[in-house]
Chain A
């Protein structure tokens, strides 16, 4: 649960200030809506560390890739990202 996964910002969908800055982040092809309010300077193509749907910091691309590969090898991505791209109601 405390894992944070690095992914690449592919789109910034809401530019609103504050709590509602959101975008799309790709985790090796799995794309998730992600809140970007805590990384106000992050731009498209930046890598961010995402924890429970919220980006908590910007990370270096090489490091992001390395961590991602490791998490994938350990089979721990699904636990954090969920199997289905449409989270929420069953």
Chain B
């Protein structure tokens, strides 16, 4: 809450909280898709400002969290091969695979380097022509153009020692999977602003229409989140189900055409396994045949196999919005950000980690 008082629009935040309380007459469940938004909701204490009837369901919105265990194991196996440098975003390093995390593998001698951009991984490939450089290309639609760009640049530079191991997931098919799951109740969605910055809003119209759910595109600041929640509730209370853009300062209706073109060149849509959820048809990207020389899966002949999850982790139910992190018997006990048992505890955008840090913050306030 410390941060909220520092934010200059405190009065505006209070105004929206007041409007939301005035508006709500029935219980509603709203899912935010994006982990960045989960983080924002928890960190700014917004969940506690909402009326009791409003339940925020934390969706599968963290690509690191939904990357299946077997892919992490594959990445680690590559990193142990002599002559290979595995590169990855920092968030991925601490995610536990079935035996160890990338960070532990690194300590045990695997060749792993953290990068901030896939284009930095490409530079490593340029500097190490005698090594194979593999980039662990994790991400939602937001990250897909950057990852695709690294492949296009590699091809243009004639670099043959660069490839990507894709773990790309797409938001709209996951929304459909959640909406078709009879166990799940979601009345409306906050759509992730940065995903829409790339892809635009078109894909959401058929979903809103078919499942009769309002979908409101919004950003990450406290006021964005509150306006998004308010606009969704306004529609719910009025019985309407429109696609609405509350992040117009960044999101264009058609998204970013250059980014979409780059994605279209390098990737094709494929079925994907989401950790905790299972396979969702058409919910990911693979490298297109034209660029198969840059596909680590083909280059290093990686197979497919299932790896079981930690038996007590209820990440799947959390990602589907059926239960909250505090309902997990391991939360804060056997499972902490230092020793995570499941992926949502690892990334700061994961629902379990967000709840854990918030509980810590509250304790600090109470203890002075």
Contacts and interface: CB of A to CB of B under 8 A. Distances in A.
A73 B146 contact: no
Interface string A57-76: 10110010011001001100
A44 interface: no
Chain B interface bracket (under 10, 10 to 19, 20 to 34, 35 or more): 35 or more
A52 B63 CA distance: 14
A80 interface: yes
B65 to A, nearest CB: 10
A89 B120 CA distance: 9
Interface in B165-203: 192, 194, 197-198
Interface string B350-362: 0000000000000
Given A53-B120, A67-B221, A1 B143 contact: yes
A52 B89 contact: yes
A9 to B, nearest CB: 16
B197 A88 contact: no
Contacts, number: 123
Nearest to A74: B3
Interface in B79-121: 89-91, 113, 115-120
A53 B3 CA distance: 27
B152 A19 contact: yes
A57 B117 contact: no
A28 interface: no
18 contacts: A1-B62, A1-B138, A2-B34, A19-B149, A20-B153, A35-B149, A40-B258, A51-B194, A56-B142, A57-B250, A57-B256, A66-B8, A81-B116, A82-B116, A87-B115, A88-B127, A89-B124, A90-B113
Given A59-B250, A70-B3, A87-B115, 9 more contacts: A1-B139, A18-B156, A19-B153, A20-B156, A38-B149, A49-B197, A52-B143, A57-B250, A79-B90
